[in-house]
Amino acid sequence: MASRRNPSAIPEIDCDAKDLPEIIDQADKPFVARGIAGTWPATKLGPDPNEVIDYLNKFVIDRPVNALETSSNPSGRIGYSDDFSGFNFKSDRKSLRALLAELRRRLNSTSPSDGLYIGSTNVDHWLPGFREINGFPFLDAKDPLVSLWLGTRSFVSAHFDFPNNFAAVILGERQFTLFPPEMIRNLYVGPIERTPAGQPISLADSDIRDDKRYPNFQIAMRSAQQATLAPGDAIFIPSLWWHEIKSKSSLNGLINYWWRSNPAHFGSPLTALQHLVFSLRSLPEKERLKWRPLIEHYIFGSDEEVFAHIPPEARGILSQPDNKEAAYFKQFLAHQLSPRSHSS
């Protein structure tokens, strides 16, 4: 049975750009800022996607970039094949200028064409100078990764990102449906390591009710928040909030800022989670449960509980290792994971 459910609206704030740094630093839930990027040249070009393509070409450094073709799925959904033996898209690597030309050709063609999606393209690397006049300078102090997302109609299934995310639409309309982190139990998440784009994704669809396959998804939908963004609008998505994105126009563009709350030398928590699943899920349940207090202690325990009794110079990774200590630990970890370390 198919029916549309109505999530609550993502809260909106009315503020000037100068107020956003403090608002973002204090925020732990999503919000929408309408028109906050409305003064960008890229958002003032109007609805003709050809003008946006022309504008982007002024900045392009013609290097190869990854792109996806969603030929088997008219909705543009990026995900798995029906039998999970692979994915429902083709991945290719072409020059950015060639891809922009291909997008233009498909837009102006009267014949049906496959979907084309250019995701997570580093703006400073491929479009130098763009964000000097189309950006949020107040976020530069966070050392963000700033990326362009451009493509035809697409559907990115609900997923989470480790970094915080502030994203602005520059072309087309995008529908965001968000779920809080604790809803993972009800999102019917696919494989944790073999994923379409690096992050595990939900197999459910916020617009289609399928109680037979995903009966608890309706529980997640009760906590869902949704908003449709137009050019100039922006959204803040906190770390680990699940977000499903549907790009609804013939061509859609978005600029996003990702930043993390701890230094990059700490690596990705998702990698640690994958290793934890790999190491512990295979244990008998009674043995696996014994690891719960260890994880609770070392990950969620207070500093006083975990390492206050250890001299500072001997705390290692229990405290806040610097770059040098982090490099040593990564070498140690690589040795522990190597086949040779398990051969004796």
Judge whether residue 306 has pLDDT over 60.
yes
Q: Which of 188, 251, 180, 177 is nearest to 215 (CA)?
A: 188
Structure-token pair, residue 101? 């030309």
Domain assignment of residue 3, yes or no = no
pTM for the predicted model, two decimal places = 0.92
Cα separation, 134 vs 170, in Å, equals 9
Considering 236, 259, 282, which residue would you say is the last residue of a domain?
259
Question: What is the secondary structure of 291-338 as a DSSP string?
Answer: HHHHHHHHHHS-HHHHTTTS-GGG-GGGS---HHHHHHHHHHHHHHHS
Question: What total of structural domains would you count in the chain?
Answer: 2
pLDDT-derived band at 342 (thresholds 50, 70, 90) equals low
Residues 126 and 274 in one domain: no
Considering 259, 281, 311, which residue would you say is the last residue of a domain?
259
Considering 234, 259, 284, which residue would you say is the last residue of a domain?
259
Domain assignment of residue 306, yes or no = yes
- pLDDT per residue as tens digits for the range 145-154: 999 999 999 9
Domain assignment of residue 32, yes or no = yes
Structural domain for 231, as ranges: 8-259
- pLDDT per residue as tens digits for the range 54-87: 999 999 999 999 999 987 566 789 999 889 999 9
Burial class (CB in 10 A: 0-12, 13-18, 19+), 217: buried
Residues 72 and 219 in one domain: yes
Rg of the chain taking only CA atoms, in angstroms: 22
